Structure 1
Amino acid sequence: HSLCNAHILRDLIYIEEAFDAPWATKIRKLLVRAKKKKEQDPDLKSSYYTRVFNTFTKTIRPIIKGYDKKFKKTDEQRFAFALEKHKYLFLEFIKQPLVPFDNNQAERDLRMIKVKQKVSGCFRSQDHIHYFSRIRGYISTLRKNKQSILECLIDAFNEKPYIPMKGE
């Protein structure tokens, strides 16, 4: 499980602009560099993760330590505390080859349910939601594995479904 870094990048840009926060710029650039490095080499060494993790932590620490409990937290401080709390989840994509930088694909997969709901008004039963989700999930898997959707659907109806192998 990891968190979506695309959302974090948007929030970091907001913090940079609203609070003129150089630490947010540094974190944003760190994440973007790590993403590019991961794209070049999906099996990064653990020493790279450690370097990024330490830089991430050192950059956020002054914002957190400078917080005075007498006053309400600003958006900048709240965000820094959230980054600190969930840093392992934000940086998981560096350690795990199969963990994506963002969850945009997962969001796209779920978006169709909302579109269908808006167009049709609703699903008639929980079973219909389940069937719709299973079919959409299967099609998404076919797409991710570069399979012919039509051919695989025909095969599935003929009781010979495509089942991806691990590492495929």
Structure 2
Amino acid sequence: MACNDFLTLLHLAPRSRAGADAGGVLPHYRGVLVHDSLSLYAGYGSCTHQLCGAHLIRELTAAEEDFPHQKWHRQIRWALTGLNTQALRVRSGEIAEITPEALLLALLLHLNAFHHGIAVGLSQHPRATGRKQSPARNLLERLRDQAQAVLRFADAPRHVPFTNNCGERALRPVKTQLKISGCHQSADGATAWLTVRSYLDSARKHGLSAFEAIHRAFTGNLWMPPIEQVA
């Protein structure tokens, strides 16, 4: 699936790079892709990346449960949530922008805590022999090596969200359908259902109720998003 604040696209495909390409959006995307660090997304080099903060917070919380006497996970989590608080203030218009000049103390405090927490965590979880590493080590290396993608939301708070909650909300009805009714009986039926879900969720983002969107579709007045297409 792919979505933003105005459109939602759900499609049926394998959980793979080819499946993601089949939607026809990601191969040509040039903006910021907010995702959960699944390895297939790394192959999209024409866009920039933001790793979902909600997923990182969950991983840090899991690390705290595994290593309750260590402090690096709490420190990194505090830093990320603090930076997100400042980003939300910018987005709401409370402050104009996040800059070292305007929020020097808060920024330096949280950024230093973020990088220091990673350094401490890496010292407490050294690399093991071989390719397979512990979940804590993998998380810390991702935070270190992809720090720019982790913190992009703080660099551009007006345009880059901290999480991919937009996509999670769009997928929730699909998961609910699977839990209640089970899988679809055919690929054609699943594809049709996802097409309808894409239409309804896109209409909702433009202020239309599901009833109004369906009524317009069946009465010859199909709603289409008023968004100019860019070549």
TM-score for both structures, normalised by structure 2: 0.57
Aligned to 1:64: 122
**Offset at 1:82?**
2.4
Q: Which has the higher strand share?
A: 2
Aligned to 2:167: 106
Q: Which moved more, 1:61-70 or 1:29-38?
A: 61-70
Structure 2 counterpart of 1:79, which letter? L
Structure 1 counterpart of 2:225, which letter? I
Structure 1 counterpart of 2:150, which letter? F
In 2, Cα distance between equivalents of 1:46 and 1:126:
50
For 1:91, what is the secondary structure of its paired residue? helix
Q: 1:91 to 1:76 in 2, by over 3 A?
A: same
C-alpha contact (below 8 Å) 1:155/1:162 kept by paired residues: no
The reply to whether residue 9 of structure 1 matches residue 57 of structure 2 is yes
Q: Which moved more, 1:35-44 or 1:115-124?
A: 115-124
In 2, Cα distance between equivalents of 1:76 and 1:101:
22
Q: Give 5+ residue unaligned stretches, structure 1.
A: none
Q: Which has the higher helix share?
A: 1
The reply to whether residue 34 of structure 1 matches residue 92 of structure 2 is no
Report how many aligned residue pairs link the two structures: 165
Q: Give 5+ residue unaligned stretches, structure 2.
A: 1-32, 35-50
For residues 77-108 of structure 1, give each alpha carbon's deviation from its aligned partner in whole angstroms, at most 9, with x where no partner exists: 23211222333333233325343322233223
The reply to whether residue 90 of structure 1 matches residue 150 of structure 2 is yes
The reply to whether residue 140 of structure 1 matches residue 140 of structure 2 is no
In 1, Cα distance between equivalents of 2:55 and 2:169:
14
Structure 1 counterpart of 2:205, which letter? K
In 2, Cα distance between equivalents of 1:59 and 1:118:
39
How much is the aligned-residue C-alpha RMSD, in angstroms? Answer: 3.2
**Offset at 1:115?**
3.2
For residues 112-134 of structure 1, give each alpha carbon's deviation from its aligned partner in whole angstroms, at most 9, with x where no partner exists: 22333444443233232222112
In 1, Cα distance between equivalents of 2:212 and 2:127:
62
TM-score for both structures, normalised by structure 1: 0.73
Structure 2 counterpart of 1:159, which letter? N
For residues 102-161 of structure 1, give each alpha carbon's deviation from its aligned partner in whole angstroms, at most 9, with x where no partner exists: 223322322322333444443233232222112212222233333333223322332341
**Offset at 1:28?**
0.8
In 2, Cα distance between equivalents of 1:68 and 1:161:
55
Which 4+ residue blocks in structure 1 deviate beyond 6 angstroms? Answer: none
Q: Which moved more, 1:2-11 or 1:97-106?
A: 97-106
